[in-house]
Amino acid sequence: MNNVKTIPVQSTAELLAPGSIDAPTYSVKEKAALSEKIKRLLKEQDAVLVAHYYVDGEIQILAEETGGTVADSLEMARFGSQHPASTLVVAGVRFMGETAKILNPEKTVIMPTLEAECSLDISAPIDKFSAYCDQHPDRTVVVYANTSAAVKARADWVVTSSNAVAIVTHLHAQGEKILWAPDKHLGRYIEQQTGADMLIWDGACVVHEAFKADALENLKKHNPQAAVLVHPESPEDVIAQADVVGSTTRLIKAVTELPNKQFIVATDNGIFHKMKSMAGDKQLIEAPTAGVGATCESCAHCPWMAMNSLRNLADTLEQMKNEIVIDEDIRIKAIQPLERMLSFK
C-alpha cells in the first residue's frame, strides 16, 4: 500500500476563488487577445458556443458573453437544437458533441478537441454492450447520455442525471424491467429511488468515483453547518451523506437556494466557477478525494474536460476543424431515444 497518498482532510477545506480551479495559465494580454479572436470568429462563422459547467471558467464567461450557454448535459442538448446558428461549438467532452450532431444533422458541430472522452463512454464499447443487450431481450435498454452514438443507437431511452429518476419511475410504473448502462453508481441510485428491477453495467466516472466517504464524514464534523451536495455518479456511501443529490444544474441551484453559508461539493471542481458567480458570499469546500484507499488520480477535475482551452477553441474556430461526423444509420437510430428523452414531461 505504499503508493497510497494520504492528505489531511482539512487541507481540502479551502475557500475557493472564482475561476481559480485548475485554470490554464494565460498572460492577461494573451487571454484578452484570445477572447477577442474567439468573439470575432464566432460571428464570422455564424457559430454559437455551448459549454459545460466543468470547462475552464474563461470559456464559460465567453459562452455567456456571446449569447451561447453554460449548462448541464441535458440543457446543452436542448440549447443546440433551439439556437439558429449554423455551427455549434461544443466545449465539453465527446459525447456532448455527438449528441449535438445527432439532434442537428444540418448543423456543423465542432469541438476544441476530439480527444476529450469520458470514462463512462469508454467503459461501454458497442460490441460488448450490444451482446449484453442481446442476452436480455426482455429488458428496456436505458443508457446515460455519457455514451457513444452507437450505444445510444442500441437503446430505447437516453437519460441524463436531471431526468433519470423520473424516466425510470415512469418505465417501472409500466411494469418494464431495465437494462442500465454504463454508470454503476448512478444505476444503483436510480434503482434505490425507483424500486425498478435493474441490471446494471459496471462503469464508473473517474472523477466522482474518487470521492471518499470516510474522509467526507470527517470533513462534515469539522464543518457542521455545511450542506453536502453530491452528483449521483458518486459512490453510494458518499451519496448517503448528501443533503442534495442531483445534476450539475441542481447542485448550482442548491447553493443559491439553501440558506447555508457553507457547502461541501462532491462533483468536478469546474462547477465552482458558476457557483461562485451566482453566490459569491458562500463558502465552497471540495469534497475529499483523499483518505483511506485514495489514489487521487483525478483530484475532482475531469482530465478530459480540462483539455478544452481558449487556445484550442480559437484554433478550432479559425480552421473550422475537429468536426463531429456520425454515420447516418447510427444517427437515425440514436435520435429516437434522445428525442424520447427530450419530449418526456
Among candidates 231, 233, 236, 295, which has minimal Cα distance to 264? 231
Q: Which of 146, 147, 161, 162 binds ligand SF4 (CB under 6 A)?
A: 146
Q: Closer to ligand SF4 at the Cβ: 93 or 124?
A: 93
Walk across the sheet containing 47-52 and list its strands. 69-71, 47-52, 87-91, 108-110
Q: Which residue has the cell 448541464?
A: 72
Q: Closer to ligand SF4 at the Cβ: 183 or 191?
A: 183
CA distance 223 to 61: 31
Among candidates 97, 91, 84, 95, which has minimal Cα distance to 324? 97
Q: Which residue has the cell 453547518?
A: 225
Q: Closer to ligand SF4 at the Cβ: 33 or 126?
A: 126
| 334 touches ligand SF4 (CB under 6 A) | no
Question: Under rule CB under 6 A, which residues in 281-320 are in contact with ligand SF4?
Answer: 302, 304-305
| 233 touches ligand SF4 (CB under 6 A) | yes
If DSSP codes are grouped into helix, strand and coil, which group holds residue 45?
coil
Among candidates 245, 249, 254, which has minimal Cα distance to 75? 249
The least CB distance from residue 120 to ligand SF4, in Å, is 5
| Bond into 224 cis (ω within 30) | no
Question: Under rule CB under 6 A, which residues in 152-211 are in contact with ligand SF4?
Answer: 205-207
CA distance 107 to 51: 17
Q: Which of 119, 161, 309, 312 binds ligand SF4 (CB under 6 A)?
A: 119
Give CA angle at 166 (244, 135), nearest 5°. 115
The least CB distance from residue 305 to ligand SF4, in Å, is 6
The least CB distance from residue 39 to ligand 13P, in Å, is 25
Residue 198 phi, psi dihedral angles, 5° rounding: -125, 130
CA distance 17 to 21: 8
CA distance 190 to 196: 8
The least CB distance from residue 126 to ligand SF4, in Å, is 17
CA dihedral 122, 123, 128, 129 (to 10 degrees): -100
The least CB distance from residue 165 to ligand 13P, in Å, is 13
Binding residues for ligand 13P, rule: CB under 6 A, are 72-74, 146, 160-161, 205, 231, 233, 247-248
206 binds, among ligand SF4, ligand 13P, none (CB under 5 to 8 A by kind): ligand SF4
The least CB distance from residue 248 to ligand 13P, in Å, is 4
The least CB distance from residue 74 to ligand 13P, in Å, is 6
161 binds, among ligand 13P, ligand SF4, none (CB under 5 to 8 A by kind): ligand 13P
Q: Closer to ligand SF4 at the Cβ: 201 or 304?
A: 304
Residues lying near ligand SF4 in the complex (CB under 6 A) are found at 93, 118-120, 146, 205-207, 233, 268, 302, 304-305
